[in-house]
Amino acid sequence: MLRTPGLSIKYLDEPTKERIRRFIQRTHPEKGVSLMDVSKMIGNKTSGYTSWLTRQLGIQPRLFEEARLKAIKEKRRKYERKSFDGTTEDRAYLLGLRQGDISVTKPWPNAAEAIRVSTSTTHPAMAELFTSLFSPYGHVYRHPRYKKDAQSYEWNLSSVSDGSFIFLQEDREHTWKWIAEDERTSLSYLAGVLDVEGSVVITAIQGRTVLMLCYYNTNLALLHFLCESLRIYSDTTLSAHI
């Protein structure tokens, strides 16, 4: 019946409808088989038809949130997620990226098992950096978007990692306390912010070669922390303009 074009559930006799109703009731609500998996069982490519079918038969489909949480618990997902296994320096570097120009959110309410990281950029190197950092832990989604005003493309990048990346949502002032305790974590953090919010300029001034390390951000607290960190670990004269 399901594979016959033009044949609708609306025109079947009641005994046949009841057999189909019992099958879907037993498979979907009782056994917890998703509508997508039910559609595969009956030879349909999408869950759209089985969703419509349940409504026609008076069956209440499982709530989306319930189905999603069940899939997470059973670790059934399209792309594998791996836990963060980096060093303390790696953690400090990622925090520098995050507090510079990377957004971190929970993709679904009340889900501690997943963290979404995302950013947008017009620079190919930044797109490659984001991909190389997060692809070992989960799939990286890359979506180009054409900007009419600039007549150029911008990449929207995101990745859903597991709950081990919750440290990226730590309070900024709290992270600064442990980052500042060690030179390695401080320099890693400075490097992370530099990669997303800074630049290195080499120029000649009055016959001398000058190296300028520039950070750009509107958060004064962040700029003050960067300035103090650079003062501690810089052997040269530091000129700060905030």
Angstrom distances, CA of residue 30 to CA of 37, 47, 55, 137: 14, 18, 16, 34
Please state the φ and ψ torsions of residue 64, each to the nearest 5 degrees: -55, -45
Does residue 177 surpass a pLDDT of 80? yes
**Which pLDDT score, from 0 to 100, does residue 54 have?**
79
Please write the tens of the pLDDT for every residue from 115-137. Answer: 899 999 888 889 999 999 999 99
The mean of the pLDDT values for the chain is: 80
**Which pLDDT score, from 0 to 100, does residue 242 have?**
44
Of all residues in the chain, what percent carry a pLDDT higher than 90?
29
SS3 119: strand
Does residue 111 surpass a pLDDT of 70? no
Does residue 241 surpass a pLDDT of 50? no
Please write the tens of the pLDDT for every residue from 76-103. Answer: 556 778 899 999 999 999 999 998 888 9
**Which pLDDT score, from 0 to 100, does residue 86 have?**
92
Q: Count of CB atoms within 10 A of residue 136's CB? A: 12
**Which pLDDT score, from 0 to 100, does residue 19 have?**
86
Beta-strand ranges (E) seen in the chain are 103-105, 114-121, 140-147, 152-162, 198-205, 208-215
Helix or strand holding residue 194 (H, E)? helix 183-197
| CATH architecture of residue range(s) 88-233 | Roll (3.10)
Please spell the DSSP secondary structure of 22-47, one letter per residue: HHHHIIIIIT---HHHHHHHTT-SSS
Does residue 165 surpass a pLDDT of 90? yes
Please write the tens of the pLDDT for every residue from 25-62. Answer: 888 777 777 777 777 777 665 667 777 777 778 887 66
Does residue 168 surpass a pLDDT of 90? yes
**Reading across the β-sheet that carries 114-121, which strands appear in turn?**
103-105, 114-121, 152-162, 140-147
Do 93 and 188 form a contact (C-beta atoms < 8 A)? yes
- Domain extent listing, the chain: 9-62, 88-233
**Which pLDDT score, from 0 to 100, does residue 44 have?**
64
Average pLDDT over residues 177-197: 93
Give the separation between CA 40 and CA 166, rounded to whole angstroms. Answer: 35
**Which pLDDT score, from 0 to 100, does residue 73 have?**
53
Do 117 and 104 form a contact (C-beta atoms < 8 A)? yes
**Which pLDDT score, from 0 to 100, does residue 64 have?**
47
Predicted TM-score of the model (pTM): 0.65
Average pLDDT over residues 132-158: 87
SS3 221: helix
**DSSP code for 104:** E
**Which pLDDT score, from 0 to 100, does residue 179 have?**
95
Angstrom distances, CA of residue 9 to CA of 18, 21, 46, 87, 151: 11, 11, 17, 58, 51
pLDDT band at 167 (very low <50, low <70, confident <90, very high): very high
Winning range, highest mean pLDDT, from 39-43, 68-72, 161-165: 161-165
Helix or strand holding residue 60 (H, E)? none
**Which pLDDT score, from 0 to 100, does residue 136 have?**
92
pLDDT band at 110 (very low <50, low <70, confident <90, very high): low
Which one, of 170, 98, 186, 99, lies nearest residue 134 by Cα? 98
